[in-house]
């Protein structure tokens, strides 16, 4: 009986594995280039950790189980709670700022669909212990830096930026009560996906007051940060939040990514713990889910029993990213075999063992070497070497039988020369 893979998961055959490594290596390179240090944690944690961060409703969205000691555990749906736990454990000994990154494999019990699977990889970068806006700017910049690294331009993607602090201050001005905020935020977060009529209908269910509805509709219609100051008479808190966003935009301009971002009032981020700047990176055509998202979450460490320490971060999944890169034709090189330095092949049966020995000696020098398990004809040899992406082909034929000479062919220039094994080993260091 053939057993299929679980729906919403992926098999990584060699070609897909090359692509996965290419994406993850790119994430790691961008992280290190921007000064982040790598960390990781366990694949499962106490279920309570995720409930603390996202509420009891999160239980239906993850894979949870009881262990033999009847402890409630869950396979990680994200790594931010693990980050908070780890930092809290050593908060007094960790040097500030804490700039960490991770590329965990995570699982979520949700309905598989385009760009959303039940198992995926996620790039996370976080800066902890920095109150200043430069940390928010750096997280956004690092995200964009990776996009540029893989060939995406400002014509392809845009970082849409807003502020939960600003939205909270303006909603307070409008008169939205604290108990109404969650429903209003959820509705605002869906604005980009809804028609005007559908948005107004949904808003009316969350907020019966007509005047408040009108003010929120006006707010959601703004297209620039300056329009907010023109439409609303801001109090001190709201003005400070608006000024903070302006300063963030100035910093991003200084970092040379002005073409990659825009203000978007509809970016709310669904999770309740965001406290300041929030952002999402989208494809310019708007055909896909957000490629990544994040923002400032200054209360998370405190919620996990630690001190009140500021933090900001971002998460990027590989599923939507891969679809976007595929659509833009940027994955061809990622699927190509990395290639080997040397491919060794014997043309005669009695030389096969010698090819094993030569491959072992080349590998001992730190080079990659592959060999043919059986004697091979010249035409097939060249085809196999090309398929493997070999830089050089070492041929054991009549010359080796007569005088222990190898034929070494450069697969790029097509030039070849005869040499002894000692000479070959001497020239590769």
Instruction: Report residue 123's pLDDT band, with 50, 70 and 90 as the boundaries.
Output: very high
* Distance between CA atoms of residues 29 and 139, nearest Å: 15
Q: Nearest 5°: phi and psi at 12?
A: -110, 90
Verify that 391 and 302 share a domain, yes or no: no
Verify that 387 and 253 share a domain, yes or no: no
Instruction: Report residue 39's pLDDT band, with 50, 70 and 90 as the boundaries.
Output: very high
339: left (phi over 0), alpha (psi -120 to 50) or beta: left
In a domain, residue 322? The reply is yes
Report the mean per-residue pLDDT for the chain: 92
Verify that 164 and 270 share a domain, yes or no: yes
The residue out of 333, 363, 385 marking a domain boundary is: 333
DSSP character string of 23-88: HHHHHHHHHHHTT-EE----SEEEHHHHHHHH-GGGGGGS-EEE-TT--EEEE-S-SHHHHHHHHH
In a domain, residue 103? The reply is yes
Let me know: does 37 contact 99? Beta carbons within 8 Å. Answer: yes
Verify that 328 and 398 share a domain, yes or no: no
pTM of the model: 0.91
pLDDT in tens, 155-209: 999 999 999 999 999 999 999 988 888 888 888 888 888 898 999 999 998 888 8
Instruction: Report residue 58's pLDDT band, with 50, 70 and 90 as the boundaries.
Output: confident
In a domain, residue 251? The reply is yes
Write the CATH number for 104. 3.30.930.10
Let me know: does 92 contact 309? Beta carbons within 8 Å. Answer: no
Verify that 276 and 210 share a domain, yes or no: yes
% pLDDT > 70, the chain: 99
Q: List the domain range (segments joined by +) for residue 25.
A: 14-41+79-333
Verify that 360 and 323 share a domain, yes or no: no
Provide mean pLDDT across the span 261-288: 90
pLDDT in tens, 297-328: 999 899 889 999 999 999 999 999 999 999 99
Verify that 218 and 287 share a domain, yes or no: yes
pLDDT in the model for residue 271: 62
- In total, how many domains does the chain have? 2
In a domain, residue 375? The reply is yes
In a domain, residue 102? The reply is yes
Terminal Cα distance for the chain, rounded: 51
Provide mean pLDDT across the span 105-109: 96
Verify that 388 and 320 share a domain, yes or no: no
In a domain, residue 63? The reply is no
Which of 226-230, 266-270, 335-339 is least confident? 335-339
Bridge partners, 395 (sequence order): 345, 407
Q: Give the pair of three-digit tokens for residue 254.
A: 């200084």
Cis check: omega of the bond before 97, within 30 degrees of 0? yes
Verify that 323 and 346 share a domain, yes or no: no
pLDDT in the model for residue 403: 87
The residue out of 293, 315, 333 marking a domain boundary is: 333
pLDDT in the model for residue 385: 86
In a domain, residue 115? The reply is yes
In a domain, residue 72? The reply is no
DSSP character string of 106-159: EE--S--BTTB-SEEEEEEEEEES--SHHHHHHHHHHHHHHHHHTT--TTTEEE
pLDDT in the model for residue 384: 86
Verify that 362 and 405 share a domain, yes or no: yes
Verify that 298 and 371 share a domain, yes or no: no
Verify that 299 and 401 share a domain, yes or no: no
Which of 42-51, 64-73, 123-132, 267-276 is least confident? 267-276
Instruction: Report residue 270's pLDDT band, with 50, 70 and 90 as the boundaries.
Output: low
Write the CATH number for 365. 3.40.50.800
The residue out of 307, 333, 359 marking a domain boundary is: 333
- Tell me: pLDDT of 56 over 70: yes
Provide mean pLDDT across the span 46-69: 89
């Amino acid at each position: 009986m053939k057993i299929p893979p679980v729906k919403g998961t992926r098999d990584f055959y060699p070609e897909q594995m090359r692509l996965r490594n290419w994406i993850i290596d790119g994430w790691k390179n961008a992280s290190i280039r921007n000064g982040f240090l790598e960390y990781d944690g366990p694949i499962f944690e106490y279920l309570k950790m995720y409930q603390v961060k996202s509420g009891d409703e999160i239980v239906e969205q993850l894979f949870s189980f009881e262990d033999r000691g009847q402890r409630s555990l869950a396979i990680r749906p994200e790594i931010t709670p693990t980050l908070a736990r780890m930092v809290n454990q050593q908060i007094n000994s960790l040097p500030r700022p804490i700039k960490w990154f991770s590329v965990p494999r995570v699982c979520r019990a949700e309905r598989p669909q385009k760009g959303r699977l039940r198992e995926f990889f996620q790039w996370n970068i976080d800066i902890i212990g920095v109150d200043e806006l430069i940390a928010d700017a750096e997280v956004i910049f690092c995200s964009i830096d990776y996009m540029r690294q893989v060939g995406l331009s400002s014509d392809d993607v845009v970082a849409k930026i807003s502020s939960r602090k600003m939205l909270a201050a303006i909603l307070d001005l409008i008169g939205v009560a604290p108990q109404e905020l969650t429903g209003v935020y959820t509705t605002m977060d869906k604005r980009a996906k809804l028609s005007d009529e559908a948005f107004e209908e949904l808003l009316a269910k969350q907020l019966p007051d007509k005047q408040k509805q009108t003010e929120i509709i006006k707010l959601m219609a703004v297209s620039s940060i300056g329009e907010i100051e023109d439409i609303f008479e801001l109090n001190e808190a709201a003005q400070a939040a608006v000024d903070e966003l302006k300063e963030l935009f100035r910093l991003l301009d200084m970092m040379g990514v002005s073409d990659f971002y825009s203000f978007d009032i509809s970016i709310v981020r669904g999770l309740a713990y965001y406290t300041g700047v929030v952002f999402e990176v989208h494809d310019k055509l708007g055909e896909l889910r957000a490629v990544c998202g994040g923002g400032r979450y200054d209360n998370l460490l405190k919620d996990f029993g630690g001190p009140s320490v500021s933090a900001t971060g971002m998460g990027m999944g590989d599923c939507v990213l891969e679809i976007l890169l595929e659509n833009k034709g940027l994955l061809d090189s990622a699927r190509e075999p990395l290639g080997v330095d040397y491919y060794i092949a014997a043309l005669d049966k009695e030389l096969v063992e010698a090819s094993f020995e030569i491959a072992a000696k080349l590998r001992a020098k730190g080079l990659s070497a592959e060999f043919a398990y059986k004697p091979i004809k010249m035409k097939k040899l060249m085809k196999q070497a090309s398929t493997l992406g070999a830089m050089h082909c070492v041929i054991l034929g009549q010359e080796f039988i007569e005088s222990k000479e190898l034929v070494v062919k450069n697969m790029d220039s097509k030039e070849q020369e005869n040499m002894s094994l000692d000479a070959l080993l001497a020239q590769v260091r």
